[in-house]
Amino acid sequence: MSTGEIRKDFRSVGGVLEVGGVRIEILAKLCTTAGGALEPHVSALIHEFLSSMDSQEPTALLHLSSQLAGDQRAQEAMDRARVRKPSSLLDALASILPFVNEKNMEEVSGKLVGILRGHGGLLTKFNCAWVIQVLVSLLPKQTVEPYTGKILAALVHNLHDRNAVLRTVMAKTIGHIMKAAKDSSFQKLGEKITSWYLDKDDEETLVMCGLVVHYIQEHSADRGSSHYIWSLPLAFLAMHAKPPSLESKTEAKNSCDVWREVWNEGTPGTEIGLKLYATEIVDLIEKFFSSQSWMKKAQAGRALSSLLLLRDHLNDSQLKKISGLLMESLSGKTWDGKEAILEATKEFCSHATGKKEELRRELQLGELVDGMLKECRKNVNMSYKQHCLTHTAVALAACGSDKFSAFKELMSPILSQGQMRESNRMEEKGEEENDLEGSIAERENLLVCAWVAIGKAWLPTSQGAGEDLQWILEEIKNSLGKSSGKIVGVMRTTLSTLILNSLQAKELSAFDQAASLLTEVVSSLTSHLPSKSHDTLMETIQKRLNELEDAEVKLKLEAALQPLLQG
């Protein structure tokens, strides 16, 4: 059959190319030798070859893929093998793609968009995406650019396909097509990706969103300025998602891994990245806090904690906005993951240390601490209560707040329960106590947390430091004969922390006033320790004592602490 006869027999009837009696395999072989004569028919040939791929696949492979539908990992492996299988149609496609040019690109792009929006199977759509990748690499940008909008929309349409292999190739192809895309296309894509991420909690969607940006970075690296303004802030928030459990993990990488790669590839370092995009990150955190999803709220809290760890890159306006967001998020009922908000509030209070007094008032630090104290008062599960106590204690100290008396009121019932012998505790337990009681291990963990929190919250420079120290020493004294060795050890560490903080602050008046009680407590404490050890903390205290200039106070404290220091 001559080239002229082949050209004559090409007809489009009902949307399906008829080639006389020549089978599709023979046509594929002819395409490898027909050369430039195929140029007028290249769009019809591309459409025919792609549309025929599903029907050319062996039935046995289709059946096997269907049987693996219940095992996603196995099915993905099978589908990857299916799309990699050599094919004469692929060879034919590769041979005719060089004949796509400015004259026929409009028709070719229309055929490709039609296939992507149609009901084709895996091979048809996968190789359609491959054709787009090849064309982007072969053709000048100005030839592809007029059609990127429709092609991009069709690719995005397939990002939610049930087939993971197909989703991945669509994301990769978007990465290629964005080389030729207009800046407005980047903006629209960014809005869609951000909206999807905010509205969905399923790992599949979160991974897919990350892959799109990852492939844009990989294949359209020179277009970074067109998308970094939205993709990197989203990456920072996204890499603070809670990773899925091992049991539920089905993707090769979880969404945190994918988005962390996006952030690392797009920034010269975390600190510089946060300085560059602080405004956009804070704005996005606000959107996450406004989400109806508890998962997104908690994620925003974790991201905010990381943001606040770095100093001097947030201006006063941003800090005020963050204060309002935290105030609003702290209020209301307790929800799964709310401890991330408590941690963010703690970091915010620590971040505000050293700011001017006027700004500190405007940041409503006292009101934030009040909100944390309110959370501490709730009858909630043990784990959340421990988070409340720990983070509130640090916030109290960071703010230099004189609210230790309110914190003390929270601690009293917890410490009182710790002083009850186990037998009496089980016999005298009432309804209110039931809300706070859990297993023996949980109760002990809560008691450990309470003592550690006391050590963090007490400030030697606060207005009522002396009175508060007296209360702490009395609680230690009353608890010694009724506590386990573990709790006694924690009380020893707490007392040592209080002493060290006072020495470092050079404010010892509270201990000076309580010297008599301190001597009694230290003596009793050392006799109850399960084992004596001279640790680094004691060495540090001794070093600080040696540096004291007030000889009288030094001698008094050394006498009181001698049993503790000797170990």
User: Are residues 155 and 97 both part of a single domain?
Assistant: yes
Instruction: Say what the pLDDT of residue 483 is.
Output: 83
Instruction: Say what the pLDDT of residue 351 is.
Output: 92
Among 180, 200, 232, where does a domain finish?
180
User: Are residues 140 and 37 both part of a single domain?
Assistant: yes
Q: Which domain holds residue 191?
A: 182-266
Domain with residue 119: its CATH number is 1.25.10.10
What is the per-residue pLDDT across 164-174, written as a single tens digit (0 to 9) for each? 999 999 999 99
User: Are residues 103 and 129 both part of a single domain?
Assistant: yes
User: Are residues 87 and 200 both part of a single domain?
Assistant: no
Instruction: Say what the pLDDT of residue 20 is.
Output: 36
User: Are residues 147 and 51 both part of a single domain?
Assistant: yes
User: Are residues 34 and 172 both part of a single domain?
Assistant: yes
User: Are residues 114 and 203 both part of a single domain?
Assistant: no
CA distance 486 to 503: 26
User: Are residues 163 and 35 both part of a single domain?
Assistant: yes
Q: Could you tell me which residues come within 8 angstroms of residue 218 by beta carbon, excluding any fewer than 6 positions away?
A: 175
Among 266, 286, 301, where does a domain finish?
266
Domain total for the chain?
2
User: Are residues 163 and 255 both part of a single domain?
Assistant: no
pLDDT in tens, the chain (567 residues): 444 444 444 444 333 444 433 566 677 777 767 666 778 889 998 998 898 888 877 676 666 767 776 677 887 888 888 888 888 888 888 888 999 999 999 999 999 999 999 988 999 999 999 999 999 999 999 999 999 999 999 999 999 998 999 999 999 999 999 999 999 999 999 999 999 999 999 999 999 999 999 999 999 988 888 899 999 999 999 999 987 765 454 545 789 999 999 999 999 988 999 999 999 999 999 999 999 999 999 999 999 999 998 877 899 999 999 999 999 999 989 999 999 999 999 999 999 988 888 999 999 999 999 999 999 999 888 899 999 999 999 999 998 878 898 999 999 988 887 665 443 544 444 444 554 445 778 888 999 999 999 999 999 988 889 999 999 999 999 988 888 888 888 998 999 899 888 888 888 888 888 888 988 888 888 777 755 555 676 778 888 888 887 788 888 888 877 777 775
Is residue 192 in a domain? yes
How far is CA 465 from each of CA 461, 462, 469, 512, 552, rounded to the nearest angstrom? 7, 5, 6, 12, 21
Instruction: Say what the pLDDT of residue 208 is.
Output: 95
H helix intervals, 162-289: 164-177, 183-199, 203-219, 224-238, 255-266, 270-289
What is the per-residue pLDDT across 217-235, written as a single tens digit (0 to 9) for each? 999 988 888 899 999 999 9
Is residue 86 in a domain? yes
Look up the pTM and report it: 0.85
Contacts 24+ apart (CB under 8 A), 244-253: 244/203, 248/203, 249/203, 250/72, 250/73, 250/203, 250/204, 251/164, 251/203, 251/204, 251/207, 253/207
User: Are residues 86 and 223 both part of a single domain?
Assistant: no
Is residue 351 in a domain? no
User: Are residues 52 and 166 both part of a single domain?
Assistant: yes
